[in-house]
Amino acid sequence: MASLFYGRVLLRNNSEQDALDTEAELSRRLDNRLLLLFFGSAACPQCQAFAPVLRDFFVRLTDEFYVLRAAQLALVYVSQDRTEAQQELFLRDMPEKWLFLPFEDDLRRDLGRQFHVERLPAVVVLKPSGDVLTRDATAEIQRLGPACFANWQEASELLDRNFLPPEDLDDPAPRSLTEPLRRCKYRVERSPRGARGAREEEEHSAEGAPGDLF
């Protein structure tokens, strides 16, 4: 999935607008996830009406306040705004985990043609393989809300990352309430001191710590 943006820069919608500009960073954020390409514009009234719905949909699937572990979901805002100021205005109240293309990147337009986007707003849902799962999920999101993610997950044969190490170093998975008891019950003797023993002790200690497009 990250290959769609190789050679490009994606920005994170936080105050620093952190850039993902290496293949490793893009892979960590986009691979083995369902990817939503959100085509919208601040000048589009329908987009303005849909944006809060999409924001709530995304937050309820990815914010640990609502879920035990964030869903394997990423979103890239593919701005169709006429000015950079419009783009910034549209993103101002959107989640920090949203990604977006720099305004000067022509890929914003190219993706619209590649995925045959004809009206705004549009949400193209891509499988981890890069295949199109849904050409426009706006109506489905409005109708079903977060429940439609389970349908997409099943249809895309998404690999459950609960069997994998955590992917987001800045978004660690919350610990189970029973973890301290389990850790105490299955405590093991520490290795003898030395390079390996000191390293393992350190690790052990850290572990506890619609409108017209054109």
In tens digits, the chain (214 residues) has pLDDT values of: 799 999 999 999 999 999 999 999 999 999 999 999 999 999 999 999 999 999 999 999 999 899 989 999 999 999 999 999 999 999 999 999 999 999 999 999 999 999 999 999 999 999 999 999 999 999 999 999 999 999 999 898 777 655 444 444 444 444 444 444 433 433 434 344 444 444 444 444 444 444 556 4
The pLDDT value recorded for residue 208 is 45
Cα 158 from Cα 133, distance rounded (Å):
12
Amino acid at site 80: Q
Residue 59 burial (C-beta neighbours within 10 Å; 0-12, 13-18, 19+): middle
Q: How far is CA 109 from CA 56, 157, 158, 201, in A?
A: 26, 30, 28, 52
The pLDDT value recorded for residue 158 is 77
The pLDDT value recorded for residue 64 is 86
Provide CB contacts within 8 A for 34, sequence distance 6+. 72, 73, 74, 125, 126, 127, 128, 133, 149, 152, 153, 156, 158
Closest CA to 132 of 154, 155, 109, 161: 155
The pLDDT value recorded for residue 213 is 63
The pLDDT value recorded for residue 211 is 57
Amino acid at site 75: L
- What size, in residues, is the chain? 214
For 192-213, give the DSSP string: PSSHHHHHHHHHHHHHH--EE-
Are residues 100 and 11 in contact, defined by beta-carbon separation less than 8 angstroms? yes
The pLDDT value recorded for residue 166 is 46
